Amino acid sequence: MPEDTIIKSEAAAKAANMVDYAATYDSFRWEDARREIDGLPGGHLNIAYEAIERHVAAGHGAQVALRWIAKSGERTDYTYLELSQLTNRFANVLRSHGIEKGARVYSLLGRTPDLYIAALGTLKAGCVFCPLFSAFGPEPIRARMEIGGANVLITTARLYKRKVSALRDLLPDLRHVFLSDGMAEGTDQLSPLMEAASPEFTAEPMHPEDTALLHFTSGTTGKPKGVVHVHDAVVAHHMTGRLALDLRPGNTYWCTADPGWVTGTSYGIIAPLSNRVTMIIDEAEFDVARWYDILDRESVNVWYTAPTAIRMLMKAGVEATKGHDFSSLRFMASVGEPLNPEAVIWGNDVFGMPFHDNWWQTETGGIMIANFAAMDVRPGSMGKPLPGIRAGIVEVTEDGLCEVTKPLAIGELALRPGWPSMMRGYLHENARYEKCFRDGWYLTGDLAMRDSDGYFWFVGRSNDLIKSAGHLIGPFEVESALMEHEAVAEVAVIGVPDETAGERVKAFVGLKPGYAPTEELMLELSGHARKRLGPAVAPKEIAFRKNLPKTRSGKIMRRLLRARELGLPEGDISTLESDEQ
Q: Which does 358 bind (CB under 5 to 8 A by kind): ligand ATP, Mg ion, none?
A: ligand ATP
Residue type, 145: M
Nearer to ligand ATP, 303 or 458 (CB): 458
Q: How far is the CB of 217 from Mg ion (least distance, A)?
A: 5
Contact 563, 569 (CB under 8 A): yes
Q: How far is the CB of 351 from Mg ion (least distance, A)?
A: 30
Q: Which does 534 bind (CB under 5 to 8 A by kind): Mg ion, ligand ATP, none?
A: none
Strands (E), 36-180: 64-69, 75-79, 104-108, 128-132, 152-155, 176-179
φ and ψ at residue 2, rounded to 5 degrees: -55, 140
Q: Which does 336 bind (CB under 5 to 8 A by kind): ligand ATP, Mg ion, none?
A: ligand ATP
Contact 489, 314 (CB under 8 A): yes
Closest Cα partner for 39 from 54, 52, 29? 54
Q: How far is the CB of 413 from ligand ATP (least distance, A)?
A: 8
Return all residues near 498 (Cβ < 8 A) that are at least 6 apart.
Answer: 468, 504, 540
CA distance 306 to 313: 11
Q: Which does 261 bind (CB under 5 to 8 A by kind): ligand ATP, Mg ion, none?
A: ligand ATP
Nearer to Mg ion, 176 or 229 (CB): 229
Cα Dmax for the chain = 72
Return all residues near 510 (Cβ < 8 A) that are at least 6 apart.
Answer: 488, 489, 490, 491, 544, 545, 546, 547, 548
Q: How far is the CB of 361 from ligand ATP (least distance, A)?
A: 4
Q: Which does 275 bind (CB under 5 to 8 A by kind): ligand ATP, Mg ion, none?
A: none
Return all residues near 447 (Cβ < 8 A) that are at least 6 apart.
Answer: 410, 411, 412, 413, 458, 459, 460, 461, 462, 465, 474
The residues facing 490 across adjacent strands are: 510
- For the chain, the straight-line distance linking the first and the last C-alpha, in angstroms and rounded, comes to 31
Q: How far is the CB of 335 from ligand ATP (least distance, A)?
A: 5
CA distance 259 to 25: 30
Q: Which does 219 bind (CB under 5 to 8 A by kind): Mg ion, ligand ATP, none?
A: ligand ATP
Strands (E), 150-236: 152-155, 176-179, 188-189, 211-216, 226-230
Q: Which does 54 bind (CB under 5 to 8 A by kind): ligand ATP, Mg ion, none?
A: none
Nearer to ligand ATP, 203 or 414 (CB): 414
Nearer to ligand ATP, 82 or 258 (CB): 258
Nearer to Mg ion, 220 or 274 (CB): 220
| Interface residues toward Mg ion, by CB under 5 A | 217
Q: How far is the CB of 58 from ligand ATP (least distance, A)?
A: 34
Nearer to ligand ATP, 176 or 558 (CB): 558
Q: Which does 278 bind (CB under 5 to 8 A by kind): Mg ion, ligand ATP, none?
A: none
Q: Which does 187 bind (CB under 5 to 8 A by kind): ligand ATP, Mg ion, none?
A: none
Q: How far is the CB of 551 from ligand ATP (least distance, A)?
A: 7
List C-alpha distances in Å: 562 to 496, 505, 578.
7, 11, 17
Nearer to ligand ATP, 190 or 478 (CB): 478
Q: How far is the CB of 363 from Mg ion (least distance, A)?
A: 7
Nearer to Mg ion, 410 or 436 (CB): 436
Q: How far is the CB of 39 from ligand ATP (least distance, A)?
A: 28
The residues facing 278 across adjacent strands are: 252
Q: Which does 337 bind (CB under 5 to 8 A by kind): Mg ion, ligand ATP, none?
A: ligand ATP
Check residue 481 and give left, alpha or beta (phi > 0: left; psi -120 to 50: alpha): alpha
CA distance 24 to 251: 23
Nearer to ligand ATP, 298 or 337 (CB): 337
Q: How far is the CB of 271 from ligand ATP (least distance, A)?
A: 16
> Please, is 519 exposed, middle or buried when counting C-beta atoms within 10 Å of its C-beta (0-12, 13-18, 19+)?
exposed
| Interface residues toward ligand ATP, by CB under 6 A | 217-222, 224, 261, 335-338, 357-359, 361-362, 382, 444, 446, 458, 461, 553, 555
Nearer to Mg ion, 116 or 216 (CB): 216
